[in-house]
Structures are given as C-alpha cells and as structure tokens.
C-alpha cells in the first residue's frame, strides 16, 4: 500500500505546562485507510491532530508525507463550525472545491448534498440552519475537497444513526485514494467502518494497528450466553458468582478469563442436572473493551 503520512515520536508540551500533553505518538496512514482516533475526553486526540497538522509550534518528533503529498493535501473538519456565513448552503459546500486543487463535477457535489441530507437546503442562508445542519455543511465541504488526507473531529455528534451511517458509508466507498482519520465517541460505527485504530490514553499511544487485532489483543472478558432448563442450586451460583450470572429462569451469562474454562462450567451445570439448550459466545465490541479499560 502507498503511504500518505508517517508520524514518529510526536510530542507536545503546552506553554507553562510542566508535563507533556502528548508524547511517544507514532502512526502512519496508507491509501484506503479509515483510522479511528480513540480515547476518553482529555486524552489528547485533538492535540494530536493539531500537532500533526503543524498548527502548534515547538513540536517534537517527525511528521512526513508520502511522495506527491504536502500539508496542502490535508483537510481538517473541526468540531466548531468553520463556514462562510455570507454564502448559502450550496456555495459553502462548493467552496471546498475552490479551496482545493481538485476538479469535482456538479454531479459529485449533488451526491454529497444528498448523502448529508441537505437536498432541500441548497439555497438556504446559513442563519436559517440548525446546529446539526451547519455541522453537515462543514462535513460536506471537507468531503468535496477530495483531500488526500482528511481529519474528522467528532463528525457524527448530534446526528441521527441513519445519517451517521450514510456519511461513513460514503467515505468508505470513496476512499481508495485517500486516508481518513476519525475522532469520535460513536464507537459502534467506528468499529464497523474503520480498519485501523490509534488508541490514546493520558497523551500516549497505547496501540496503533488493525482494528481486528486490537479487538483480540485488548479483549479482557470472554462472555457466553446459555439458555437452559432446570433449577440451579443457589449455593452453586453464590460459590461461582464471579463466573455465573442468572439473567432469568431460562438464561445465564458466563464470564471467563480464559476460553478453555467454558468446559468446566458446562460440566458443573450438567452435574446439577441442568439441560443446556443453547450456547452462544458474545462478540467483543470496541465499546465494551474501552469500558473495561476505564
């Protein structure tokens, strides 16, 4: 794959601060990547974006671009609305083309307007729009720029699930020549659409790599759902309360530290004359992993 961006040992310290806001941050981006930038509030995600873009001075570390790529090929869609208030919706979005060096057809502009749910607002003044609609104008403007590297900071905040899916689906389907970084707390969608993840905690990069690998390596909880018939001895449940949780008179949840422990649990239940109807392993989610990390 063709690398568009490489960051090595990035660090930044705010003025009058004794410690680093971020340090030891290393990652890279290739064509086709959708990279999740994940961490709790205040972990340093926005500082990483600003430092990578060169918006701060006195940055430590190295930021380098691939062949034919420069800082002019990057677009940053911030949380705070950055729009031209004197233009209507359509002209605001089309300004994304004018600010870039790319040539985009009117058909492409119309497609993005459709995806963002702004079809009936093209001629509207920005003062007539809600906060969510203004946010969509800004996202559309970034997408239409066709930048080689795009940073989206909380793009789906305040948007409904359908619209959020439409935006990420559009990015995924049109991302073969670009790299997109997404900082978001919408973890279910991030897990579905991003192929890589940068996991930040207290200003340090704890993980950078494939999303699928992260989900396996950071899985600290193995959970099985069991449907059953019969009566479970309360003393057995109490003795194994860290492992067995009764949901109702037909269903159990089993919490394990190791995969092979499930056989011992099944033997225990069978010894209690419990008939097992079904056994289903829960899929670990990004959201659940980060909950356990806190």
Evaluate if residue 45 carries a pLDDT over 80: yes
Q: pLDDT tens-digit profile of 182-196? A: 998 899 999 999 999
The span from the CA of 250 to the CA of 230, in Å, is 8
102 or 88, higher pLDDT: 88
Q: Which residues of 6-42 are buried (b: 16+ CB within 10 A; e: fewer)?
A: ebeebbbbeeeeeebbbbebebbbbebbbbbbbbeee
Mean of pLDDT values over 71-97 = 81
User: pLDDT class for 35, splitting at 50, 70, 90?
Assistant: very high
Phi and psi at residue 176, in whole multiples of 5°?
A: -65, -30
For residue 209, what pLDDT is reported?
Answer: 97
Q: Considering the chain, what percentage of its residues have pLDDT values greater than 70?
A: 95
| C-beta of residue 188 within 8 angstroms of C-beta of residue 287 | yes
Domain covering 222-293, topology: Ubiquitin-like (UB roll) (3.10.20)
pLDDT for 52? 92
Say whether pLDDT at 81 is over 70: no
pLDDT at position 213 is 95
Structure tokens at 104: 């985009």
**Cβ within 8 Å of residue 189, ≥6 positions away:** 156, 164, 165, 168
Of all residues in the chain, the percent with pLDDT exceeding 90 is 47
**Helix %, strand %, coil % for the chain, to 5?**
35, 30, 35
Tokens, residue 116: 């963002």
Q: CA angle, corner 65, sides to 69 and 8, nearest 5?
A: 165
Report whether pLDDT(95) > 90. Answer: no
pLDDT one-digit tens code per residue, 133-144: 888 898 888 888
The residue ranking higher by pLDDT, 280 or 221, is 280
Q: What digits encode the pLDDT tens for the residues 58-76?
A: 899 999 999 888 888 888 8
pLDDT band at 102 (very low <50, low <70, confident <90, very high): low
pLDDT at 219: 84
Residue spans of the domains in the chain: they are 3-216, 222-293
Average pLDDT, the chain: 89
Say how many C-beta atoms besides its own lie within 10 A of residue 280's C-beta. 10
**CA-CA distance, 82 to 199, in Å (whole number)?**
27
Convert 104-132 to b/e letters by CB count within 10 Å (16 or more is b). Answer: beeebbeebbebbbbeebeeeebeebeee
Contact 228, 250 (CB under 8 A): yes
What's the CATH superfamily of 3-216? P-loop containing nucleotide triphosphate hydrolases (3.40.50.300)
pLDDT for residue 101 is more than 90: no
For the cut 90, the answer to whether the pLDDT of residue 206 exceeds it is yes
Mean pLDDT of 177-184: 93
Tokens of 288: 């659940």
Confidence of residue 201 (pLDDT cuts 50, 70, 90): very high
pLDDT at 80 over 70: no
Confidence of residue 221 (pLDDT cuts 50, 70, 90): confident
Q: What is the dihedral angle through the alpha carbons of 228, 232, 238, 244, rounded to the nearest 10 degrees?
A: -10
């Amino acid at each position: 794959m063709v690398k568009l961006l490489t960051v090595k040992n990035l660090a930044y310290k705010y003025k009058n601060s004794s410690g680093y806001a971020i340090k030891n941050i290393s990652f890279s981006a290739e064509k086709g990547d959708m990279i999740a930038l994940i961490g709790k509030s205040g972990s340093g995600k926005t500082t990483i974006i600003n430092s990578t873009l060169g918006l701060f001075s006195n940055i430590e570390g190295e930021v380098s671009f691939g062949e034919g790529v420069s800082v002019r090929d990057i677009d940053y869609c911030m949380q705070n609305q950055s729009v031209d208030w004197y233009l209507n919706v359509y002209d605001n979005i089309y300004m994304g083309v004018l600010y870039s060096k790319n040539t985009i057809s009117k058909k492409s502009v119309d497609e993005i307007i459709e995806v963002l749910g702004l079809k009936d607002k093209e001629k509207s003044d920005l003062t007539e729009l809600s906060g969510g609609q203004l946010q969509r104008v800004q996202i559309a403007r970034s997408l239409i720029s066709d930048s080689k590297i795009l940073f989206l900071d909380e793009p789906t905040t305040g948007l409904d699930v359908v619209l959020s899916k439409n935006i990420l689906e559009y990015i995924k389907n049109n991302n073969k020549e670009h790299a997109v970084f997404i900082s978001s707390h919408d973890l279910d969608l991030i897990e579905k659409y991003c192929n890589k993840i940068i996991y930040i905690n207290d200003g340090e990069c704890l993980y950078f790599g494939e999303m699928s690998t992260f989900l396996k390596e950071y899985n600290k909880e193995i959970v099985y759902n069991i449907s059953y018939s019969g009566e479970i001895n309360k003393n057995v449940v109490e003795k194994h309360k860290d492992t067995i949780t009764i949901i109702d008179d037909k269903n159990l949840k089993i919490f394990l530290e190791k995969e092979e422990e499930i056989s011992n649990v099944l033997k225990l239940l069978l010894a209690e004359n419990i008939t097992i109807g079904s056994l289903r392993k829960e899929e670990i989610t990004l959201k659940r992993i980060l909950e356990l990390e806190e």
